[in-house]
Amino acid sequence: MHRVFSGIQPSGVPTLGNYLGAIRNWVPMQDRHDCLFCIVDLHAITVWQEPAQLLAQTREMAATLLACGLDPKRCVLFVQSHVTAHAELAWIFNCVARLGWLNRMTQFKDKAGKDREAASAGLYVYPNLMAADILAYKATSVPVGDDQRQHLELANDIAQKFNHDYGTEFFPRIEPFIQGVAARVMSLRDGTKKMSKSDPSDQSRINLNDDTDTIALKIRRARTDAEPLPGHLAQLESRPEARNLVGILAAVTGTLPENVLREHEGQGFGAFKEVLTEALVAHLSPIRAEMLRLLQDAPALDAALRQGSERAEAIARPVLAEVKRLVGFLPRG
Ligand code: TYM
């Protein structure tokens, strides 16, 4: 039995990318492993978040995750800032990670953009906090989308350097769990950019709380090209938007892109988009309905999160105590 940890930022409503790339894979893991799923509000404030909105989005995220099938009886669902171990261990990791390692992180470069001097220091050390999230529970399996691969490599570098510097085998190796077909869902407006909850254009993504008409409109407006669909995946290599829509339909209907192409070969995007809309609506509307229902009882959501943080804290406390002994903050033995 592995200990599984994953996180999601409450920086907006989760998108179809979050769902297909990560959340959907978390659900079956609850039956097989010891799972912790964390709403990472400390990570969210590495870019500006309006306080009232952050609080609302955190609750909304909890409702969405529950609606997608996370079950507080079978996993620990909690909010990062409620468990102080994350910030404490992150500080120690700030002192383990090297500037050279952080300088190679592509996500920092993407998010900071041209004006790097104006980015927060938090955005720069974001991956150190991620390493702390995982290692505060000595988790070994981390289910994420493809964009997190580099961060997990860094987390392993930090764990290894900590072990080496303090002469211990304390931290385990972390294995990323990145599932094939939908590990990288792309923007509906630009097939070379990933679908993101923080993209300024709402048309670029499907949000898990979009209603039927909104989904239909966004898919109808999704960028495509004039060619009909080919019979083989290799023929979509230079058609990122088409490949993305085919990938989404495959993921939502539980098949492979090759099978989608076999079925829709020769079709134009008008007909294909109708099929895609129908599949998305069938899949997402029960999630949306359940999310709206759960949001009506905010005290129940808050209570579930409070209980989650108590359970998380109980796992992290002895790990942190041992780290403090290893570092020399507390006497050993
Ligand atoms: P976040 O909130 O950006 O994304 C949450 C999860 O969704 C995946 N994801 C995608 N997958 C496929 N296609 C997409 N377009 C897409 N967009 C997002 C992400 O890979 C992620 O798995 N740094 C993390 C949060 C985090 C974390 C952690 C994850 C904090 N601490 C510890 C694992 C372990 C993030 O940016 O999440």
Bridge pairing between strands 34-39 and 3-8: parallel
Q: Taking all residues of the chain, what is their mean pLDDT, rounded to a whole number?
A: 96
Q: Which residue among 111, 161, 193, 324 is the active-site one?
A: 111
Catalytic residue from among 138, 194, 218, 273: 194
d(CA 130, CA 2): 18
Q: Residue 180 has what pLDDT?
A: 72
> Is the predicted pLDDT of residue 215 greater than 80, yes or no?
yes
**Is 161 among the catalytic positions?**
no
Residue 147 C-alpha to ligand 1 middle, in angstroms? 7
Distance CA 130, CA 128 (A): 5
Which residue has the CA at smallest separation from atom 22 of ligand 1? 144
Ligand 1-lining residues (CB < 6 angstroms): 5-9, 17-18, 21-22, 40, 43, 130, 133-134, 142, 144-145, 147-148, 183-185, 194-196
Domains of the chain: 3-177+297-327 (3.40.50.620), 202-293 (1.10.240.10)
Whole-angstrom Cα distance, residue 77 to residue 57? 15
Query: Please, what's the largest Cα pairwise distance for the chain?
Result: 71
The pLDDT value given to residue 222: 97
Q: How confident is the model at residue 332 (pLDDT cuts 50, 70, 90)?
A: confident
CA distances from 64 to 18, 83, 318 (A): 11, 21, 31
Is 138 in the active site?
Answer: no
According to the model, what pLDDT value does residue 178 have?
Answer: 94
Phi, psi of 322 (to 5 degrees): -65, -40
Evaluate whether 3 touches 32 at the Cβ level (below 8 Å). no
Strands in the chain per DSSP E: 3-8, 34-39, 76-79, 141-143, 175-177
Distance in Å, CA 194 to ligand 1 centroid: 11
Q: Which of 28, 59, 36 is nearest to 305 (CA)?
A: 59
Residue 262 Cα to ligand 1 midpoint, Å, equals 31
Expressed in angstroms and rounded, the spacing between residue 202 Cα and the centre of ligand 1 is: 18
Task: Tell me the average pLDDT across 21-26.
Answer: 96
Band (317; pLDDT cuts 50, 70, 90): very high
d(CA 185, CA 21): 7
Name the range with the highest mean pLDDT among 104-113, 179-188, 308-317: 308-317
Of all protein residues, the one whose alpha carbon is nearest to atom 16 of ligand 1 is: 17
324 catalytic? Reply is no
Average pLDDT over residues 242-258: 96
Do residues 37 and 171 lie in contact, with contact meaning Cβ atoms separated by under 8 Å? no
Q: In what order do the strands lie in the sheet with 76-79?
A: 76-79, 34-39, 3-8, 141-143, 175-177
- Pocket probe mutation, ligand 1, options 13, 77, 148, 186, max atoms within 8 Å of Cβ: 148
Residue-wise pLDDT for 266-300, tens only, equals 999 999 999 999 999 999 999 999 999 999 999 99
Query: What are 241's two structure tokens?
Result: 């938007």
Ligand 1: which atom is nearest the Cα of residue 107? Answer: 36
pLDDT of residue 181: 77
Instruction: Average the pLDDT over 241-259 and give the result.
Output: 96
CA–centroid distance, residue 114 to ligand 1 (Å): 23
Q: Write the pLDDT tens digit of every residue in 161-193.
A: 999 999 999 999 999 999 877 889 999 999 999
Report the pLDDT value the prediction gives residue 333, as an integer from 0 to 100.
Answer: 72
Q: What percent of the chain has pLDDT over 70?
A: 100
Span 243-256, mean pLDDT?
96
* Position 93 confidence tier, pLDDT thresholds 50, 70, 90: very high
Q: Determine the distance separating the centroid of ligand 1 and the alpha carbon of 311, expressed in angstroms.
A: 23
In ligand 1, the atom with minimum distance to the C-alpha of 43 is 30
Which residues on neighbouring strands pair with residue 120, listed in sequence order?
A: none
What pLDDT shows up at residue 179? 85
- Answer yes or no: is pLDDT of 245 > 90: yes
Q: Identify the pLDDT of residue 163.
A: 98
Candidates 85, 82, 66, 72; CA nearest to 138 is: 85
Question: What would the two tokens of residue 116 be?
Answer: 């790097």
Q: Is 267 helix (H, G, I), strand (E, B) or coil?
A: coil
d(CA 297, CA 291): 11
Q: What is the DSSP string of 195-217?
A: --TT-S-GGG--BTT--HHHHHH
- pLDDT at residue number 1: 72
Give residue 309's Cα distance to chain centre.
Answer: 19
Does the reported pTM lie above 0.85? yes
Measured from the Cα of 148, ligand 1's closest atom is 20
Residue 89 is predicted with a pLDDT of: 98
